[in-house]
Structure formats: structure tokens, C-alpha cells
């Protein structure tokens, strides 16, 4: 990720981050005795952290307030795959090597399970080779300078056997429905114009080799019991970092690579792994649109993935509108010490990553590192002050849950895989919201975020009935009720 882009994240963060709210809508006359809503609240002062609210009201004949959220479960949008974070090399090493078995099992059950207070992450991302959050820079087929391995005879995933594979396997054992996607930060150096993992572009005469390399990765992880449901062909293809693996891949290059090499190879092999384009920031929607404009490449591309570091989440909507048959995914955002204030960062993350991306058609939302240590690592190059969803003390294995954990958990704990986003009133002043209907029991989930510096009172109208609720300053609430 671009450090300058990270700085822009700070610049766009304001204390006026919006409140997240989900509510039901209808035109029937108010009726008494409606469903009771359960509520959970997190406040920026940390007095309440995903805490149940015993005073949550029921729907009834109350009057809607000026700030009213209508929820309509009959109007349904995308089906959700889930929420989560990336199992980077750094995250996996900390979990596998710096925690006791008891600590590790407890954390993994909490993150990927739903029983006993688990937050139910259903979606994760792996790196195909090294990222900046690796302890060394490597690909799965490194060769000496000037060398090559066109048959991929030396291909091996051994670099991820000690840490990444055990951790993702444990996550899948806890949650067999976990959706796993993967992204390369670079092709092997010998496939690039720089003959290096650092900077450079993919050589046209290596397109076929890189397609086979990605398919070998899918095969190798499937053999290990880790199905990869989707690939992006390059993390942040519009950026060439100078101190960790990266690769520039223009829209024309991506269209040719997918349309003439990777797509046909996946099809020929009968593999169901999807190809998702872009995997970069909101600030350049014309970039994925250029790829999707190619009719050959478009046939093999299932969706577009987005990052948060530049631009605005509103960019997702027009791309979806142009190609409504293509899914949207939100695949990376990191918090960091550039913004340590919960009252700023907690609403920003909730409003943009959880609410905004889902309202912008994302089927899933991922933060960056699942776990980092007390020094914001380990990393080699790249971001020096990124925060993990949790912090693991590398000496004791003790876990600290960061604000990003709570922003995700307010959705992941309650919105189950297969849920559909449903209609709800858009932002109202400092309140933002998004609503979902769970497929298994029909329950309605409304996430509400108050970005104001004062308590905000609002109402929710669903099937002609109304409840009223108050949220403290800079806080999140999740309301759940039976449909």
C-alpha cells in the first residue's frame, strides 16, 4: 500500500463521521405489540464495546422522528459473502508462532466462530507470495538473476507451510463456509521487466507462465484443503512500491492477460475460481471500467475489488451501474497510528468499510492485517504504522482488540453468509446505516453509526411500526429483530 495514500486517509477523516443505522420501512398504519429489537453498542470512549443494551425498545405505535430510517425487507440487493480480514504472513506467523496453543485456539474461535461470543468472520484474503507484511520477500518460484523457469518445475508453496496454511486450515475447520480469496503482490521476478519482485511490469512473453503460476497456486492450496474462490491478478496494479513486492499492470495489460491467458486456462481446467479485477483504490474507477470494456476479458471477470486509501466509497456505485452483472468486493483497508483517536477512526471505518461498501454493492468487506504485533509488524518495507484488527504481543501472546475489530464485528457477528442487503433510508445528518435480512431465520440486522460529537436520537420504521433509539457520540449500534 502507498504510504502517501495512507496519509490521504488521515486527510479525509473528520470528526463528523456518520452514524450507521439500519431500519425497516412500510406504509401500514402503526400497530401495537411489534417485535422487540436487541441492540449492541460500541462507543469511542470504550465504555461500551459490543455491549448488549438491556433497554433496547420494541416496535410499536410510536411516532417517527425527524431522523427516521425506513427499512424495507421486500426490496433486496446483493447476497453477502461476509466480513473479515487478511491472513497475511505477519498475521499467520504471530498466531502460529507467538501464541500458546490455548491462546491461539481461543483467538481463532473468537474470530472465525459464532459460538460463545465469536464474531463470525466469513471472508478472508491470502497473499500469493510475499507482501510488505512478510518477514522476507519471496514468490513461489524464485530464480537466480537472469534465470527463468518456464515449466514452473521449481514451483513450491513451502514458504507458507509453517504459518499461513495451518492458520487458514484452522479457520476453515472452525468455519467451513469461510470464503478465501487470494492476491499476488508480484509475479516472480523472472517474469517481469525488472527481473525483481520490486517494481516493474509483467513481460508480455511471460503472460502464459504467470497464468499457469496462478493456477498452480489454486491447485496447490486446493490439495491442502484450502479452496480459493477468487483471485485478483495483482494487488494495487496502479502502484509500484520501491521497498516491497509490487507490479504495474495497466488496464490493457490486465484485459489481455485475463482474456487470452488466465480466463481460458481456468475454463479449460474446469476450475470455478473467479477472477476479480482492480483490487485498488476508489480514486480511479475508470481503470476497472477500461478492463470491463474489453468484451473478451469481461467474459472471464466476475467482479471488481476496491481499497480505501484514496478516493471515496461512492465510486463503487457507478461501476456497478455500468456492469450490474459484475459483483463488487471491498478487499483492503488498514487502520494505523496515523489516526489513533477512536472518536475519529471508529466512525470512519464503520461508515466507509462496513456501511458504505455494502451500500455500494460489495458482497464482502475485508480489512488488511488480521493481526500485527506491538510494533505494527512484522513487516519488510511498506507501512510502518499500520494496525491489525487485533494486536498480538509477540512476547506474551496477549491479544488487544482494536477499533477495527469492533467496526467489523458490528456486522460480522450478526450478518450471516447468504444474507441479503435490503433497502433502508440513506444517511441522515450524522447517522449512516445499512440493513440486511438473514436467509436462515429471516432476522433483520441494522447497523447504525453516529459520527457526531453529541448523542443522536432516531427512529426506525419497519412494516408500519416504529421504534425510537438514542446513540451516544461517535458510536455504533447493531439492532436485530425478527421479521
By three-state DSSP, how is residue 456 classified?
strand
Q: Establish if 443 belongs to a structural domain.
A: yes
The per-residue pLDDT for range 268-316, each reduced to its tens digit, is 999 999 999 999 999 999 999 999 999 999 999 999 999 999 999 999 9
Average pLDDT over every residue of 17-30: 33
pLDDT digits (tens, 9 = 90+) for 170-196: 999 999 999 999 999 999 999 999 999
pLDDT tens by residue, 24-54:
333 333 345 689 999 999 999 999 999 999 9
Give which of 326, 344, 291, 283 is closest to 473, Cα–Cα.
344
Question: Which of 414, 431, 448 is the last residue in one of the domains?
Answer: 414
Top-confidence residue, 197 or 17: 197
All residues at 6 or more sequence positions from 45 whose CB lies less than 8 Å from its CB, including other chains: 342, 343, 474
| 323 shares its domain with 454 | no
Strands (E), 186-338: 230-232, 274-281, 301-307, 327-332, 335-336
pLDDT at 105: 98
**What pLDDT does 51 receive?**
98
Domain containing residue 30: CATH number: 2.60.40.1180
Instruction: Examine the fold and report which residue of 370, 386, 414 is the final residue of a domain before the chain moves on.
Output: 414
Give the whole-angstrom CA distance, residue 149 versus residue 153: 7
Q: To the nearest whole number, what is the mean pLDDT of the chain?
A: 94
Determine the pLDDT at residue 34: 84
Q: Which of 414, 441, 461 is the last residue of a domain?
A: 414
- List, for residues 334-369, the tens digit of each pLDDT value: 999 999 999 999 999 999 999 999 999 999 999 999
What is the pLDDT averaged over residues 439-460?
98
Report the pLDDT value the prediction gives residue 2, as an integer from 0 to 100: 46
Residues 308, 395, single domain; the answer is yes
Q: What is the mean pLDDT of residues 375-387?
A: 98
Q: How far is CA 172 from CA 191, 216, 229, in A?
A: 33, 21, 13
In a domain, 50, yes or no: yes
Are both 98 and 26 inside the same structural domain?
no
Residue 16 has pLDDT above 80, yes or no: no
Domain for residue 129, yes or no? yes
Q: Identify which of 181, 211, 215, 191 has the alpha carbon closest to the alpha carbon of residue 139.
A: 191
Q: What is the pLDDT of residue 5?
A: 41
Strand partners, 461: 70, 466
Buried residues in 225-246 as b, exposed as e (16+ CB within 10 A): ebebbbbbbbbbbbbbbeebbb
- Of the two residues 12 and 433, the one the predictor is more confident about is 433
Whether residue 6 is contained in a domain is answered as no
Q: Once rounded to an integer, what is the mean pLDDT over residues 395-410? A: 98
Q: HSE (CB half, 13 Å, CA atoms) of 19?
A: 32
CATH number for the domain spanning 329: value is 3.20.20.80
**Which of 269, 93, 275 minimizes the C-alpha distance to 183?**
275
Q: Determine phi and psi for 438, rounding to 5 degrees.
A: -70, 135
Residues 246 and 370 in one domain: yes
Is 78 a residue whose pLDDT tops 60? yes
Mean pLDDT in residue range 192-214: 98
For residue range 137-152, what is the model confidence (pLDDT) as tens digits? 999 999 999 999 999 9
Q: Residue 8 pLDDT > 80, yes or no?
A: no
Higher pLDDT residue, 12 or 287?
A: 287
User: What are the φ/ψ torsions at residue 130 (nearest 5 degrees)?
Assistant: -80, 155
CB 382 within 8 A of CB 1: yes
* pLDDT on residue 97: 98
Domain total for the chain? Answer: 2
Write out the residue range of the structural domain in which residue 49 sits: 17-78+422-481
Note whether 72 and 197 are same-domain residues. Answer: no
pLDDT band at 12 (very low <50, low <70, confident <90, very high): very low
d(CA 204, CA 211): 12
Q: What pLDDT was estimated at residue 56? A: 78
Say if residue 128 is in the same domain as residue 34: no
Amino acid at each position: 500500500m502507498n504510504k502517501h495514500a495512507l496519509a490521504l486517509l488521515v486527510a479525509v477523516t473528520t470528526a463528523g463521521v456518520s452514524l450507521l443505522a439500519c431500519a425497516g420501512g412500510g406504509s401500514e398504519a402503526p400497530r401495537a405489540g411489534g417485535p422487540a429489537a436487541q441492540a449492541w453498542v460500541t462507543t469511542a470512549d470504550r465504555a461500551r464495546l459490543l455491549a448488549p443494551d438491556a433497554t433496547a425498545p420494541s416496535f410499536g405505535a410510536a411516532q417517527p422522528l425527524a431522523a427516521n430510517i425506513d427499512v424495507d425487507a421486500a426490496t433486496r440487493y446483493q447476497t453477502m459473502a461476509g466480513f473479515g480480514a487478511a491472513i497475511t504472513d505477519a498475521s499467520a506467523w504471530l498466531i502460529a508462532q507467538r501464541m500458546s496453543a490455548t491462546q491461539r485456539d481461543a483467538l481463532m474461535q473468537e474470530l472465525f466462530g459464532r459460538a460463545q461470543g465469536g464474531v463470525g468472520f466469513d471472508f478472508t484474503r491470502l497473499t500469493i507470495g510475499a507482501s510488505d507484511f512478510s518477514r522476507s520477500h519471496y514468490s513461489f518460484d524464485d530464480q537466480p538473476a537472469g534465470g527463468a523457469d518456464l515449466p514452473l518445475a521449481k514451483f513450491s508453496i513451502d514458504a507458507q507451510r509453517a504459518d499461513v496454511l495451518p492458520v487458514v486450515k484452522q479457520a476453515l475447520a472452525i468455519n467451513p463456509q469461510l470464503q478465501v480469496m487470494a492476491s499476488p503482490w508480484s509475479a516472480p521476478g523472472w517474469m517481469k521487466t525488472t527481473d525483481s519482485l520490486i517494481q516493474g511490469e509483467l513481460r508480455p512473453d511471460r503472460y502464459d507462465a504467470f497464468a499457469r503460476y496462478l493456477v498452480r497456486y489454486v491447485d496447490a492450496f486446493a490439495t491442502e484443503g484450502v479452496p480459493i474462490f477468487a483471485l485478483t491478478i495483482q494487488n494495487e496494479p496502479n502502484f509500484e512500491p520501491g521497498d516491497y513486492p509490487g507490479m504495474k499492470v495497466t488496464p490493457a495489460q490486465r484485459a489481455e492477460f485475463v482474456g487470452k491467458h488466465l480466463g481460458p486456462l481456468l475454463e479449460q481446467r474446469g476450475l470455478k475460481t473467479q477472477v476479480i479485477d482492480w483490487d485498488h483504490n476508489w480514486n480511479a474507477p475508470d481503470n476497472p471500467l477500461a478492463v470491463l470494456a474489453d468484451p473478451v476479458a469481461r467474459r472471464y471477470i466476475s467482479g471488481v475489488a476496491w481499497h480505501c486509501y484514496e478516493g471515496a466509497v461512492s465510486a463503487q456505485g457507478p461501476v456497478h451501474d455500468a456492469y450490474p452483472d459484475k459483483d463488487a468486493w471491498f478487499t483492503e483497508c488498514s487502520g494505523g497510528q496515523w489516526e489513533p483517536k477512536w472518536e475519529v477512526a471508529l466512525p470512519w471505518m464503520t461508515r466507509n468499510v462496513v456501511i458504505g461498501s455494502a451500500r455500494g454493492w460489495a458482497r464482502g468487506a475485508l480489512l488488511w492485517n488480521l493481526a500485527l504485533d506491538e510494533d505494527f509488524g512484522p513487516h519488510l518495507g511498506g507501512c510502518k504504522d499500520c494496525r491489525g484488527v487485533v494486536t498480538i504481543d509477540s512476547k506474551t501472546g496477549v491479544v488487544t482488540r482494536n477499533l477495527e475489530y469492533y467496526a467489523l464485528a458490528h456486522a460480522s457477528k450478526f450478518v450471516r453468509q447468504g444474507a441479503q442487503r435490503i433497502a433502508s433510508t440513506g444517511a441522515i445528518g450524522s447517522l449512516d446505516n445499512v440493513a440486511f435480512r438473514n436467509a436462515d431465520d429471516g432476522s433483520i440486522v441494522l447497523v447504525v453509526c453516529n459520527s457526531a460529537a453529541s448523542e443522536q436520537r432516531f427512529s426506525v420504521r419497519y412494516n408500519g411500526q416504529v421504534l425510537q433509539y438514542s446513540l451516544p457520540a461517535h458510536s455504533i449500534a447493531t439492532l436485530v429483530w425478527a421479521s
